[in-house]
Amino acid sequence: MPGIWIYSEDSAVARQLLTAGLELKNAMKQPVAVLTLSGEEAQTFIDAGADKVYVVKGSNPWPESYANAVADLLTKEQAGVLLVGGTMRGKDLAAKVAASLKAGLVTDALRVACAGDGIETTRLVYGGLAVRTETVTLPALVTIPPRTFAEAAVQGTGQGEVVIVEVANDDNRVSVTNVCPIVRQGADIAAADRIVCVGRGLSKKEDLTMVEALAAAVGAEIGCTRGISEDYRWLPNDRYIGISGQKVKPELYIGLGISGQVQHVAGIRDAKVIVAVDSNEKAPIFEAADYGIVGDLYEVVPLLTKAMQK
């Protein structure tokens, strides 16, 4: 089946991609198919508007091992577009499929549209400093980060075809063991409404108590820059915000002793209000802030804590 194909090992993400897929369907006048590893979820894709669902079944449960099978199927079906959920596993698989198909692949697109005889995308480059608009010739692959789109709504007749495809995906060169869920310490800052974020302006770990007091007064979770978690290990890795860390979208973000390098700022762009406290008036964070105080955080934080407690 030519047309628009969707794949994610995560079914919720696949339903989000359906939202983008259905827009392309309208523009390209071609059907939408979902490729899934999860037979139980097949009907949910049909309900959300997919014309066809292919349930791919192999003996190897490792999602990445399906790359060859997916590439073979897409070649046979002459797929025009493959949208892949931009999880880490999804990006791994997408690149392998693209290599097999000798196709172009855009990573982490924020927008996909049909343009002429290709697909047009936008994405961030240079650590979030710039936005690049690109075209990809067909067959075109695009990965889209989770939560870029809302899940497609249940609609229409719920009529569509479900096909089961048996594939060979054994690979005796690779064995996967010890799959351990990562247990978060504390709340998920990606979902926090308010965040007090601390950077290397903090001189020692003990001073985190002062930051915690402010966070408590504001009702916020504590986040940090990469150096605080990866270099100093003062806070767990899932607390650092930025292009390679967590992307956050709080109502209020208060940054303390954070210079505001692009890789950090890329993670806070969706914050509603950004407040910065930094002793260096020229720190780039002030360019990215709604409100700022130029000052020593050791002086400002206790005053701010007191004022916010009231």
Q: List residues binding ligand FAD (CB under 6 A).
A: 127, 199-201, 225-227, 240-245, 257-259, 261, 263-264, 267, 278-280, 283, 296-298
175 binds, among other proteins, ligand FAD, none (CB under 5 to 8 A by kind): other proteins
- Closer of 62 and 298 to ligand FAD (Cβ): 298
Which x/- pattern over 4-23 shows residues binding other proteins (rule: CB under 8 A)? --------------------
The CA distances from residue 37 to 56, 89, 120, 164, 240, in Å, are: 5, 13, 28, 10, 32
279 binds, among other proteins, ligand FAD, none (CB under 5 to 8 A by kind): ligand FAD
R_g of the chain, CA atoms, integer Å: 23
Q: Judge contact between 32 and 25, C-beta under 8 A.
A: yes
Total Cβ atoms within 10 A of residue 10? 18
298 binds, among other proteins, ligand FAD, none (CB under 5 to 8 A by kind): ligand FAD
* Prior bond of 61 cis (ω within 30°): no
Q: Which of 17, 20, 82, 304 binds other proteins (CB under 8 A)?
A: 304
Question: 273-278 and 252-256: which strand pairing?
Answer: parallel
What's the CA gap between 234 and 226, in Å, rounded? 10
| Residue positions counted in the chain | 310
The CA distances from residue 250 to 191, 241, 261, 262, 269, in Å, are: 7, 12, 19, 18, 10
Question: Residue with CB nearest ligand FAD?
Answer: 242
247 binding other proteins? (CB under 8 A): no
Q: Which of 134, 210, 234, 247 binds other proteins (CB under 8 A)?
A: 134
200 binds, among other proteins, ligand FAD, none (CB under 5 to 8 A by kind): ligand FAD
- Closer of 79 and 297 to ligand FAD (Cβ): 297
243 binding other proteins? (CB under 8 A): yes
- Is 161 in a helix, a strand, or coil? strand
105 binding other proteins? (CB under 8 A): yes
Minimum gap (Å) between residue 214 Cβ and ligand FAD: 13
Q: Judge contact between 163 and 54, C-beta under 8 A.
A: yes
